[in-house]
Structure 1
Amino acid sequence: MVEIERKFLVTSEAYKKEAFRKERIVQGFLNTHPDRTVRVRIQGPLAFLTVKGRSNAAGTIRSEWETEISLPDAQHLLTLCEPSIIEKNRFEVNVGPHIFEVDEFLGANEGLSIAEIELESEDETFARPDWLGAEVSGKIQYYNSQLSLKPFKFWK
């Protein structure tokens, strides 16, 4: 499967009033190699194992494979992950025919909020809400796998 997604910084908390869902996410990475990342995620009552390939140059397209796993398996796998574990609240917001997923990071990444939108094609147009800031697609330091290795609180 191929994922087409763009990422943006968030300029205000206005998205919270527009959100139709909020979930807590805890995730860790078993592997953060640039050619493949292997992620364990607990999202609400569900758990997933995900493998992502290398992104294209723009950082918008990459292969992704995901399967649901049991919660006990995910909790065990989190103990085997590379440092550190990512914690965040995810808000889902309808904007036109699209859904933005806004991640409000917690812990060592507190103060960082990133909005993602999945698209059908790389050149698909979409409405930009007022709270959407600068695009960070392809900027590796904003990848969750990299935020686990160098959290936002350590950025200069």
Structure 2
Amino acid sequence: MIEIERKFLVKDDSFKAAAFAQNRIAQGYLSSVPERTVRVRIKSNKGYLTIKGVSNDAGMSRFEWEKEIPFDEAKKLLLLCEKGVIDKTRFEIKRGNHVFEVDEFYGENEGLIVAEIELESETETFEKPNWLGDEVTGDTRYYNACLSNNPYKNW
């Protein structure tokens, strides 16, 4: 499956009032090379294994494969991950026909808040909320795999 998404910085925390869901997430990388990132994620009490390919030139589209795995197995796999496990809360906010996923990071990425929106095509339009800041789509520093190796606090 091809994932098409755009990423934005977030100006302030006013998005929280509009969130219909929020979940704490821990995720680590078994492989963080751009050609094939392999991620283990624990979201609430569920585990996931995700493989992503390299992004296209615009940084909007890439192959993504994800499967739910048993929670206990995800916990064990997190122990095998490269250093720099990501800790964040994901807020989900409906806006028009879309859902923004806003990640507030903790630990070494404290202070970073990034919003993502998945689209059907790279040219699809969407309603932009007031709290949405500068677009960072294609800026690899904001990829979670990069944040695990080069945290926000080091920029």
Shared fold (TM-score greater than 0.5)? Answer: yes
d(CA) in 2 for partners of 1:136 and 1:130? 16
> Residue 81 of structure 1: CA displacement?
0.4
Letter in 2 for 1:140: T
d(CA) in 2 for partners of 1:106 and 1:20? 21
Establish whether residue 8 from structure 1 lines up as the match of residue 46 from structure 2: no
2:122 is aligned to 122
d(CA) in 1 for partners of 2:43 and 2:34? 24
SS in 2 for 1:79: helix
> Residue 105 of structure 1: CA displacement?
0.3
1:60 is aligned to 60
> Residue 45 of structure 1: CA displacement?
1.4
Q: How many residues align?
A: 155
d(CA) in 1 for partners of 2:149 and 2:83? 6
| Contiguous gaps of at least 5 residues in structure 2 | none
Letter in 1 for 2:136: V
Question: TM-score w.r.t. structure 1 length?
Answer: 0.98
| Contiguous gaps of at least 5 residues in structure 1 | none
> Residue 8 of structure 1: CA displacement?
0.2
Alignment of 1:9-88 (within 5 A): 9-88=9-88
d(CA) in 2 for partners of 1:13 and 1:151? 21
1:140 is aligned to 140
d(CA) in 2 for partners of 1:83 and 1:58? 28
Coordinate RMSD, CA, aligned? 0.4
Deviating above 2 A after TM superposition, structure 1's stretches of 4 or more consecutive aligned residues are none
> C-alpha deviations, 1:107-156, integer Å up to 9, x for none?
1100000000000000000000000000001000000000000100111x
Letter in 1 for 2:5: E
Q: Percent identity?
A: 57
